[in-house]
């Protein structure tokens, strides 16, 4: 016998005075007996749900009325950012491992550059001397001072300046200038 679901109107098959589960909306209902009277309604089982929300029927033939108004989405905003200069990722230089730069290391680097460019005797000699003194002070401080790279750079540049200018004077003397 063909019966129609009272919930969604979908056609189902059932025998008189039996319980049928609708194939579209899964609602359970009683098929009327031969006299046309339906037996007393049994309590309806709960509609299937997912996470506490009723499952929607997406049957195109019979649209379901909306059971409740849709909830607006919850907008979560991050807390306001307060600039912290010591925070990781702040736009600042990374924290230094040692202490302060050695002054003689800086003087060695600058003297080496001056010796290479314009005053070979004075600048290069000053760069070599201050570079070695700075290295000894940095080693004696046991990590308390920085500038090892600057001191070595000053020594190397000063020696390059000395040898470069020495080569220039030798070639100039040999050519008769």
Q: pLDDT by residue (tens digit) across 131-149? A: 999 999 999 988 888 999 9
The Cα 122–Cα 72 span in angstroms is 78
Mean model confidence pLDDT for the chain: 78
- The label of the residue with tokens 């070695």 reads 132
Six token digits for residue 109: 């680097």
Span 34-46, average pLDDT: 55
pLDDT tens, 3-37? Answer: 888 878 888 888 887 888 888 888 888 877 766 55
Instruction: Give the pLDDT of residue 116.
Output: 84
Give the per-residue pLDDT at 148.
92
Res. 77 pLDDT band, cuts 50 70 90: confident
Report DSSP letters for 107-157, one per residue: HHHHHHHHHHHT-HHHHHHHHHHHHHHHHHHHHHTTTSEE-HHHHHHHHHH
Instruction: At 81, list the tokens.
Output: 């950012």
pLDDT digits over 92-101, tens only? Answer: 555 555 678 8
User: Average pLDDT of 103-107?
Assistant: 93
For residues 58-69, one letter each, b for 16 or more C-beta atoms within 10 angstroms of the residue's C-beta and e for the rest, the string is eeeeeeeeeeee
**Predicted pLDDT at 42:** 53
Does residue 49 have a pLDDT over 70? no
Please name which of 70, 137, 62, 65 lies closest in space to residue 106, comparing C-alpha atoms.
Answer: 137
Give every CB contact of residue 74 below 8 A, 6+ residues apart in sequence. Answer: none
Distances 64 to 7, 16, 23, 26 between C-alpha atoms, Å? 9, 27, 15, 13
CA torsion, points 67, 73, 74, 76, in degrees to nearest 10?
170
Residue 59, phi then psi, degrees to nearest 5: -75, 125
Q: What is the pLDDT of residue 87?
A: 67
Using the predicted structure, report yes or no on whether residue 173 has a pLDDT greater than 80.
yes
Radius of gyration of the chain measured on its C-alpha atoms:
46
Percent of the chain with pLDDT over 90: 27
């Amino acid at each position: 016998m063909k019966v129609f679901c009272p919930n969604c109107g979908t056609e189902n098959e059932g025998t008189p005075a039996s319980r049928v589960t609708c194939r579209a909306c899964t609602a359970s209902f009683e098929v009327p007996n031969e006299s046309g009277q339906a037996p007393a309604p049994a309590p309806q089982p709960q509609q299937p749900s997912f996470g506490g929300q009723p499952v929607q029927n997406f049957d195109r033939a019979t649209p379901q009325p909306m059971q409740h108004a849709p909830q607006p989405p919850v907008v979560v905003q991050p807390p306001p950012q307060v600039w912290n200069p010591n925070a990781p990722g702040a736009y600042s230089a990374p924290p230094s491992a040692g202490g302060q730069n050695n002054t003689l290391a800086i003087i060695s680097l600058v003297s080496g550059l001056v010796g290479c460019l314009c005053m070979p005797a004075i600048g290069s000699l000053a760069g070599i001397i201050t570079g070695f003194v700075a290295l000894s002070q940095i080693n004696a401080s046991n990590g308390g001072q920085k500038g090892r790279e600057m001191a070595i750079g000053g020594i190397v540049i000063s020696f390059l300046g000395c040898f470069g200018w020495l080569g220039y004077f030798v070639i100039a003397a040999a050519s008769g200038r």
